[in-house]
Structure 1
């Protein structure tokens, strides 16, 4: 196995249930870097929401906003914003219906409405509640929206806006992006820029927005805390994030040296 690049999801993968990076994951990433393997974050979050993780792990490359904003060693190599006219229409519809919407640019985001669902979801996931600025999209490219509504409402919006794909990551919160975009699309552009073959890449994930990513890379690894749908497409299922799943899989595959894992 000639793995040259490894992609890591954040929530439930690099971060455990306490939103901390397990020590074994830190050591595993460090060993990969020392052996010359590129380590890359692949997340639905905007870059501003995982800066501390990049600093702590010494990672300077990322596939963010579910593949729509890709940076390699500090250099932008791919961006895929939602057309401004589509953002305007979608925003107006959600505001009329009283649903909170996050407007996400590459370096910051704002809310159209501060609803109970938005405040609760962001707080539960350890994310800062942004400022309310309904006209934010008029001066910024929007790569993704955050819809604060239940899954039935999300499906209704998908029918109204077939150009958009709504992916729930919480009972009352979903990423909204252009249909056809995904982490896999961003990874494709990343590997092309890095000159790395698809089969020489690996990815770790736990959520439904990681499905295309695990299918695309050479070796897709689902965390033990992943859902059945993701585990079904993975090449390997490892332990939970809190049990040292990243390090365990990399050890078993011979990519890093053995280390002590977190207690199960």
Structure 2
């Protein structure tokens, strides 16, 4: 039996329409029939990943390794303390950065950041409306955050110098994870505790099942997949993955929309 961990954006799906390619669904179904366990392992918070939970998957790791659940029960979670959350927020405020607080129930934003988010997301789709962003990011007004817990904080920017400034302020306790898509492209920067990543989340899950890293396979496309691609027994980078991930992967499959998961499952004799 193999324990297979699949990222969502750029790996399970390839676009904002949240459509899982038919070949991917077929591959996962066959692999489960062959006795393998399949898990989602995403940077999305649970509030954004919930829509993908189904009988195809045996559990889910969210918030880039800060949260996991098996059979709808919380296996572990790493919540930002109020003190640490305020430290991050104060730093971002000082640089005029608009951010999203990612929680279990929802994601939260300040109304003043709306215009900035609109401008940045035009890099993805010039016709995108605010309602599309609200839906894609699961956004709520900050006033609704009181009953939630926060796992990580995300901001978007095209300014690489700004990323370095924030990193210099916070790197003693927090990591800034992002994928460089090239000059002028929007970057999504995830801020979380230094000891949080997808590989650590995977270790918690396999310990729960009494397995080891020797039994694991990971699939990803971006830099928040880096540790799991390195540490799992087999790390697979999608054909559309960033170059840094391809360099450390054991195998590079085809593009997510070109049967990437199915081709890799076949190659690895999972199906």
Q: 1:181 aligns with which of 193, 196, 201?
A: 196
Is 2:37 the partner of 1:38? Answer: yes
* Structure 1 gap ranges (5+): 257-264
**TM-score, normalised by the number of residues in structure 1:** 0.87
Q: Which residue pairs with 1:262 in the alignment?
A: none
1:70 to partner: Cα distance: 0.9
1:241 partner SS: coil
**TM-score, normalised by the number of residues in structure 2:** 0.85
1:194 to partner: Cα distance: 1.4
1:52 to partner: Cα distance: 2.2
Is 2:259 the partner of 1:235? Answer: no
2:264 partner SS: helix
**C-alpha distance 95-73 of structure 1, shift in aligned 2 (>3 A):** same
**C-alpha distance 228-93 of structure 1, shift in aligned 2 (>3 A):** closer
1:180 to partner: Cα distance: 2.5
- In the alignment of these two chains, the number of paired residues is 252
- Return the alpha-carbon distance in structure 1 between the equivalents of residues 93 and 59 of structure 2: 35
Runs of 4+ displaced beyond 3 Å? 119-126
Q: 1:157 aligns with which of 155, 158, 166?
A: 166
1:58 partner SS: coil
Q: Which residue pairs with 2:235 in the alignment?
A: 220
1:243 partner SS: coil
**Contact 1:99 / 1:115 at 8 angstroms: preserved in 2?**
no
* 1:92-116 residue CA offsets vs partner (Å, 9 max, x unmatched): 3323433211111122111134243
Task: Please say which of residues 118-127 and 178-187 is displaced more in the overlay.
Answer: 118-127
**C-alpha distance 153-19 of structure 1, shift in aligned 2 (>3 A):** same
- Return the alpha-carbon distance in structure 1 between the equivalents of residues 34 and 138 of structure 2: 39
1:60 to partner: Cα distance: 4.6
Query: What is the root-mean-square deviation in Å for CA atoms of aligned residues?
Result: 2.2
Q: Which residue pairs with 2:177 in the alignment?
A: 167
Task: Please say which of residues 113-122 and 97-106 is displaced more in the overlay.
Answer: 113-122
**Contact 1:117 / 1:172 at 8 angstroms: preserved in 2?**
no
**C-alpha distance 97-227 of structure 1, shift in aligned 2 (>3 A):** closer
**Contact 1:66 / 1:183 at 8 angstroms: preserved in 2?**
yes
